[in-house]
Amino acid sequence: MRNYKLREIAEIIGGFAFKSGVFTDIGIPVIKIADIYSNSISTSGCSKVAVEHLRGLDRFKLSTGDIVMAMTGATTGKVGRHLTNEAAYVNQRVARLRAKHPKATQNFLWAIVSQAGFAQVIKDAAGGSAQENISTDGIGDIEIELPDEDCWTQIGETIACLDQRTGANKHLSHTLEEMSQALFKSWFVDFDPVVAKSEGRKPFGMSDDIAALFPDSFEESELGAVPKGWRVGTLSQLCDSVQTGGTPSRSQTNYWVGGTIPWVKTGELNDGFISNTEEAITELGLKSSNCKLWGPGTVILALYGATVGKLGVLAKTATANQACAALIPSRRFGFPFILNQVLAVRTELCSLAIGAAQQNLNLSTVREFRMVVPEDFVSAAFDQIVRPFYQQIECLCAQNRLLEDCRSLLLPRLLSGEISERSVASPEATAA
């Protein structure tokens, strides 16, 4: 074991200071701090620049496998990895890290900077009175104790294999979510089967039994033309109840210490299943506050601030704070229908948020939000088709939690030399 400065392992450069006037909606993506997510980056929705503004800037271009790091603000030290062949450039206050040591691979460098606690090391090294701020030299000065160089490649490959398995599961989950949303849009937003039948055509890709559930004409409503026999209703009419949570007093330690009841915050909502939470409360904390217990399948909606409109589905019984609304599905409309319904109207719903400093959704606005409500047997058919999708998504999420736990336990022991890479099963077996 010996200490290395990060600059010995990696080439570290800061991004280019693009002028705001060159950003457009089309062109080549430019990665800003906001485009760095949990160990990944996203180019969807990010700022772009035209090719003519990139001449002479190849130094700031990302290659497949490159690592980016936030250098400013509350997320200083947050890292992501560019895993596609898509051309992209880094903006100012974003660092690009690329392995340069002859024994260091990009996978090994990623293992170092993505380990638990490394972002905090960067934040601790950052200066600035108003907010954290670190330079590329400051990043390069970070010291890491590492094992013998001959094992670096294998360590990187082991961690990369776990990450690839996790990524494949996320990709499959995303595909299943897209399939569910596409079916919902076809049936309940575009009314494709009704349009087809009204034109004397057989609905595409649909069995005769399912097609028979849809009417063959439209009728007028306050929301425009809707399938005959369907109606306009409120979001609360799809649910047994729409409630908010609460926060037990922080001054009462017995409301928190030793808690076993998951307590959801809006920052933990990611439009997917919620199994683990950062905090939990006790039974006494539950009874002594406005918190309420909600069962699996409850859809959680963020009401306040930057996360307004974010969604989650409880995978197990939990509660939440007052910034969350719980949409408790009725027997007539299961969580897949409610989740997809809110996703479909989210932009319109969030447009009703009020507040100057912070946009907030009022609970009554959520309850009374009006939408087209289908016949029960149509929503039941939708549930029967897509519920297996969500059951598989939940299983994939559970697999990823195990893989992430394995990574968290294994990586620091490999990097510390506590476990030799020779004592670890092959990467393929580790991820199996």
Do residues 138 and 238 both lie within one domain? no
* Alpha-carbon torsion (369, 372, 377, 382), positive or negative: negative
CATH number reported for the structural domain that contains residue 22 in this entry = 3.90.220.20
Please compute the mean of the pLDDT values over residues 28-45 and round it to a whole number. 90
Do residues 135 and 240 both lie within one domain? no
pLDDT at 8 exceeding the cut of 80: yes
Domain assignment of residue 133, yes or no? yes
Do residues 26 and 135 both lie within one domain? yes
Structural domain count of the chain: 2
Predicted confidence at residue 140, as pLDDT, reads 98
Please compute the mean of the pLDDT values over residues 402-431 and round it to a whole number. 77
Please compute the mean of the pLDDT values over residues 379-403 and round it to a whole number. 97
Domain assignment of residue 358, yes or no? yes
133/39: higher pLDDT = 133
pLDDT at 122 exceeding the cut of 80: yes
What is the domain extent for residue 47? 2-146
pLDDT tens digit string along 171-217?
999 999 999 999 999 999 999 999 999 999 999 999 999 999 999 99
Please compute the mean of the pLDDT values over residues 144-161 and round it to a whole number. 96
Give helix 152-184 / helix 106-113 axis angle, nearest 10°. 80
Domain assignment of residue 315, yes or no? yes
Predicted confidence at residue 220, as pLDDT, reads 97
| Mean of pLDDT over the chain | 94
Tokens 């076993």 identify what position? 260
Domain boundary among 146, 172, 207: 146
Q: Rounded distance, CA 175 to CA 179, Å?
A: 6
pLDDT at 420 exceeding the cut of 90: no
Please compute the mean of the pLDDT values over residues 286-315 and round it to a whole number. 96
Q: How confident is the model at residue 358 (pLDDT cuts 50, 70, 90)?
A: confident
* Alpha-carbon torsion (154, 159, 161, 162), positive or negative: positive
Domain assignment of residue 411, yes or no? no
pLDDT at 243 exceeding the cut of 60: yes
pLDDT at 130 exceeding the cut of 80: no
pLDDT at 366 exceeding the cut of 80: yes
Please compute the mean of the pLDDT values over residues 54-66 and round it to a whole number. 97
pLDDT tens digit string along 88-110?
999 999 999 999 999 999 999 99
Domain assignment of residue 313, yes or no? yes
Predicted confidence at residue 44, as pLDDT, reads 81
pLDDT at 426 exceeding the cut of 60: no
Cα distances from 129 to residues 26, 72, 126, 132, 134, in angstroms, run 37, 12, 10, 7, 12
* Alpha-carbon torsion (192, 198, 203, 204), positive or negative: negative
Domain boundary among 130, 146, 162: 146
